[in-house]
Amino acid sequence: MRLVVIGGVAAGLSAASRARRIDAGLEILVLERGETISYGACGLPYYLEGRVRDAAELIVYTPEYFRKERNITVRTRAAVTEIAHARREVTLDGGERIHYDRLVIATGARPYCGIEGAELPHVFRLQTLADGIALKSYLAERLPQRAVVIGAGYIGLEAADALRRNGLAVTIIDSGACLLRRDDAELTAILVKHLKRYGVEARLGTRVRSIQPDRVEDSPCDLVVLATGLQPNAELAFEAGVQRGITGAIAVDERMQTNLGGVYAAGDCAETMHLVTGRPAYVPLGTTANKMGRVAGANAAGARERFDGVVGTCIVSVFGMGLGMTGLSVAQARREGFAPISVRIEARDRVRYFGGRPTSVELVADQKTGRLLGGVVMGERGVEGRINVIATALHARMKADDFERLDLAYAPPFSTTWDPLLIAAQQLVHKL
């Protein structure tokens, strides 16, 4: 019985490792087309910044580790060119054919393209370890002075922060009206002001048609980072007859099964369920990839596990300010057919004598049912904890007036008697 996993980063290796725990006798082969496996791509901005000195620090495990410790064979530079499901075979680019009994597709995602000039030598991405190394070398060797970051998602913002800390002038350009792809004008206004304070200009509502060697649209630059979002690497799967979901990524059920028997998909190539909207969503993130991979691997090895979906939690640090988001913004909620209302409050994150600093909380709820739909937390500290409380409440489909009564921890070193989350909830309930 052989399990083949296509892809050796988050989802693929989670699947392989979990399958091994379920079935000690299974033959497990991981095929990775790149040169390295198991790296933390989310660390690339910090390698760029200089906090991570050596890109090798971002590599968690080596193929040797998997062979010796987990009895899993990992082949790098092994690009799969075809899945022939009728024969249960994958074909490598050298022509080699490999049989599988179970298959996990974890082929990840790639940046959107389609901008003229994207292949110029001063244009970089920040997705793979190789991308990070190339950009870091360029910084060291060519000493660029002015960067344009195309795309204002979290990778774009992290890249802008890292480049600014390297002394470059930085402009972020995005075709949308909002930062972080969250349809929230107030949030964008706060963030634009914060970026400006640290010398980063944000040009929103600007579609980039082409990249020139010395500028992007009207912004002069000698370095460009493309952070225009991700699209699933799923063509290989679709060509083999795997079903495409409404988001454009691979459709899977809660067992991570595709429409083909014995074929699973996980991670950035697959879609998942958004638990607030109840509809499929494409949310490529490492944490989700790990969870999907684990479940795919477990089920491929004969167990019966499920992954219900996500609530859309995301967090980013920009010039010392943490920004966490989960669930739906007001505009998203309205598009999904809810009757959203929201509040945004500013409060101290701790009592004054423990150096309380301002933090802001936005909560969104449905006026018809009182159900909590989403939230945003911003501040210098404690953002991850507070956004996680909101995320947990979203998983539980909690109502605003239950959220208001949460028994949250308080002592002076940690919070305020009324936690900012509860202050926001009180105001939200008052508006409902």
C-alpha torsion angle, residues 96, 127, 188, 315 (rounded to 10): 90
Site string for a copy of itself, 295-334 (x = CB under 8 A): ------------xx-xxxxxxxx----x-x-x--------
Q: How far is the CB of 84 from a copy of itself (least distance, A)?
A: 34
The rounded distance, in Å, linking the Cα atoms of 78 and 55 is: 22
Tokens encoding 330: 């007001």
Does residue 39 bind a copy of itself (CB under 8 A)?
Answer: no
Tell me, yes or no, if 221 is annotated catalytic: no
Q: Please state the closest distance from residue 275 (CB atom) to a copy of itself, in A.
A: 8
Of these residues, 42, 113, 178, 269, which one is catalytic? 42
- Identify residues 364-383 at the interface with a copy of itself (CB under 8 A): 382-383
Between CA 419 and CA 353 the distance in angstroms is 16
Q: Is the Cβ of residue 215 or residue 399 nearer to a copy of itself in the bound state?
A: 399
> Nearest approach, Cβ of 12 to a copy of itself (angstroms)?
14
Q: Tell me which of 145, 210, 243, 287 binds a copy of itself, using CB under 8 A.
A: 287
Nearest to 219 by CA among 232, 204, 203, 234: 203
Distances in Å between the Cα of 320 and the Cα atoms of 158, 197, 237, 317, 415 are 11, 12, 41, 6, 19
Rounded Cα gap, residues 345 and 233, in angstroms: 40
Scan for tokens 């992007």, then name that residue.
Answer: 216
Smallest gap, in angstroms, from Cβ of residue 283 to a copy of itself? Answer: 9
Nearer to a copy of itself, 40 or 176 (CB): 40
* Site of tokens 């640290």: 198
**90 vs 316, beta carbon nearer a copy of itself:** 316
Strands 340-348 and 123-125: unpaired
Task: For Cα atoms 56, 61, 67, give the angle at the middle one, nearest 5 degrees.
Answer: 135
Structure tokens at 226: 């493309």
Q: What is the DSSP-derived secondary structure letter of residue 349?
A: S
Total residues at interface with a copy of itself (CB under 8 A): 63
End-to-end CA distance of the chain: 57
Q: Which of 195/242 has CB closer to a copy of itself?
A: 195
The single residue among 61, 65, 138, 354 that binds a copy of itself, judged by CB under 8 A, is 354
CB neighbours of residue 161 within 10 Å: 25
Q: What is the DSSP letter of 5?
A: E
Q: Return the residue of 387, 424, 425, 428 that touches a copy of itself, per CB under 8 A.
A: 387
Token look-up 């360029």 returns: 138
Which of 23, 26, 46, 400 lies at the binding interface for a copy of itself (CB under 8 A)?
A: 46
In the complex, minimum distance from the CB of residue 403 to a copy of itself, in angstroms, rounded to a whole number: 8
Write down the least CB distance from residue 349 to a copy of itself, Å. Answer: 10
65 with 8: CB under 8 angstroms?
no
For position 256 contacting a copy of itself by CB under 8 A, the verdict is no
* Cα of 11 vs its chain's centroid, Å: 13
Q: Which of 226, 389, 424, 425 binds a copy of itself (CB under 8 A)?
A: 389
Give the footprint of a copy of itself on residues 145-184 (CB under 8 A).
154, 158
DSSP state of 86: G
Q: What residues act catalytically?
A: 42
Where along the sequence are the contacts to a copy of itself (CB under 8 A)?
Answer: 10, 40, 42-43, 46, 51-52, 57, 154, 158, 275, 285-288, 290-291, 307-308, 310-317, 322, 324, 326, 351-354, 382-389, 391-393, 395-396, 398, 402, 405-415, 417-419
